[in-house]
């Protein structure tokens, strides 16, 4: 932002925005706050503004305990989305800082991407595009035969807002029977929405397509391990738009090469470029695995979703800075995180 030393501007709250947000969200925020961007031509390092930042609008950047301790004025970390695995929640709780999320604001965008990825995968869209650009079309016909998803069994592991939106599209748009595994959702809720509540083993063995919709916590890390992947139906497909760490990627590579999986579509991988690791252990994008689609974490990346999510996050910041309880609370000041 442009530096202005007037008392009016200095008295405005300071908000750090870690990653790109919708332009209308940014303009609305700039109307009542001093905004410091962690991206673009005017990017600043958080370390340079941490002493006077009142709020953080956080997307993909990791927000560590060290950053929290070094932020004496910080009152709220508002996540632009629903995941909180990039925030040290215990440190936030210990230092009396709100942490909020924007539940439901990006559900439709992610749910639609599930089907964009699934259809691209089962109809060989990526391979067909490459062939069309480099070979005679007469050579394409036989090798690119796909399958239809209408009437195929969809398995949902996790049944929050996104999982529910996926079920709605699956049943209404494709006539797919839907199996659901989520021990934290009542059977009546699942069955009331048209799904069938089953155990994990039954879901894996009975689904043609398995889609993951879980938060990343200790109990879900690598929930799709070697045993689970090997127990999937022969010729089935895995779709992950949630968190890369839900899947054992070495085991996934093995099951893609040797079966039972026919393919996988991933919007997330274990080590995304800004996390300090290699993208998917370097193998998921390798040439031998032409039965894999990988996109760079674009699940919520629609204009509509970016506007909804951004406005919701800014609303939480406004509420917290004005002494109100913000929407979407994950951590509240004075509440100690359980072990």
SS3 labels along 16-32: EECCCCCHHHHHHHHCC
Query: Is 22 among the residues known to form the active site?
Result: no
Q: Which entry of 50, 79, 233, 297 is annotated as an active-site residue?
A: 297
CB of 231 within 8 A of CB of 199? no
Query: Is 243 among the residues known to form the active site?
Result: yes
Peptide linkage before 246 cis (omega within 30 of 0) = no
Q: Which entry of 243, 249, 283, 308 is annotated as an active-site residue?
A: 243
Please give the helix or strand (H or E) that residue 154 lies within, else none: strand 154-157
Alpha carbon distance 318, 302 (integer Å): 24
Residues 6+ apart with CB under 8 A from 215: 82, 83, 85, 158, 242, 243
Tokens read off for 254? 């093995």
Q: Which entry of 30, 202, 254, 272 is annotated as an active-site residue?
A: 272
Residues 6+ apart with CB under 8 A from 194: 167, 171, 178
Alpha carbon distance 57, 22 (integer Å): 12
Alpha carbon distance 38, 60 (integer Å): 11
CB of 1 within 8 A of CB of 35? yes
Q: At what angle do helices 303-321 and 23-30 cross, to 10 degrees?
A: 20
Query: Is 272 among the residues known to form the active site?
Result: yes
The radius of gyration computed from the CA coordinates of the chain, to the nearest angstrom, equals: 22
Please give the helix or strand (H or E) that residue 159 lies within, else none: none
Phi, psi of 72 (to 5 degrees): -65, -25
Scanning 210-302, the segments in alpha helix (DSSP H) are 226-230, 249-258
Residues 6+ apart with CB under 8 A from 65: 88, 90, 91
Known catalytic residues are 243, 272, 297
């Amino acid at each position: 932002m442009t530096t202005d030393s007037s008392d009016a501007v200095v008295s405005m709250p300071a908000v750090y925005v870690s990653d790109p947000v919708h332009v209308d969200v940014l303009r609305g925020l700039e109307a009542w706050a001093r905004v410091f961007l962690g991206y673009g031509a005017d990017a600043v390092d958080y370390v340079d503004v941490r002493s006077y930042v009142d709020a953080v609008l956080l997307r993909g950047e990791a927000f560590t305990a060290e950053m929290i301790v070094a932020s004496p004025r910080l009152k709220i970390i508002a996540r632009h989305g629903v995941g909180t695995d990039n925030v040290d929640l215990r440190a936030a709780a210990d230092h009396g800082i709100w942490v909020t999320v924007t539940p439901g604001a990006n559900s439709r965008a992610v749910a639609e991407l599930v089907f964009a990825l699934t259809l691209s995968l089962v109809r060989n869209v990526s391979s067909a595009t490459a062939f069309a650009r480099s070979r005679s079309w007469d050579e394409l016909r036989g090798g690119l035969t796909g399958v239809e998803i209408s009437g195929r069994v969809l398995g949902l592991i996790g049944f929050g807002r996104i999982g529910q939106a996926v079920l709605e599209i699956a049943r209404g748009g494709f006539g797919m029977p839907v199996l659901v595994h989520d021990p934290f959702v009542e059977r009546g809720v699942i069955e009331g929405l048209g799904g069938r509540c089953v155990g994990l083993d039954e879901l894996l063995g009975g689904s043609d397509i398995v889609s993951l919709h879980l938060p990343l916590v200790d109990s879900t890390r690598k929930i799709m391990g070697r045993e689970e992947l090997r127990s999937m139906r022969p010729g089935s497909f895995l779709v992950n738009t949630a968190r890369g760490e839900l899947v054992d990627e070495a085991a996934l590579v093995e099951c893609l090469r040797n079966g039972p999986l026919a393919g996988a579509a991933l919007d997330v991988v274990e080590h995304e470029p800004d996390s300090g690791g290699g993208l998917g252990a370097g193998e998921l994008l390798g040439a031998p695995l032409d039965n894999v689609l990988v996109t760079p974490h674009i699940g919520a990346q629609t204009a509509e979703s970016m506007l909804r999510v951004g406005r919701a996050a800014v609303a939480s910041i406004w509420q917290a800075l004005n002494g109100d309880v913000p929407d979407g609370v994950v951590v509240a000041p004075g509440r100690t995180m359980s072990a």
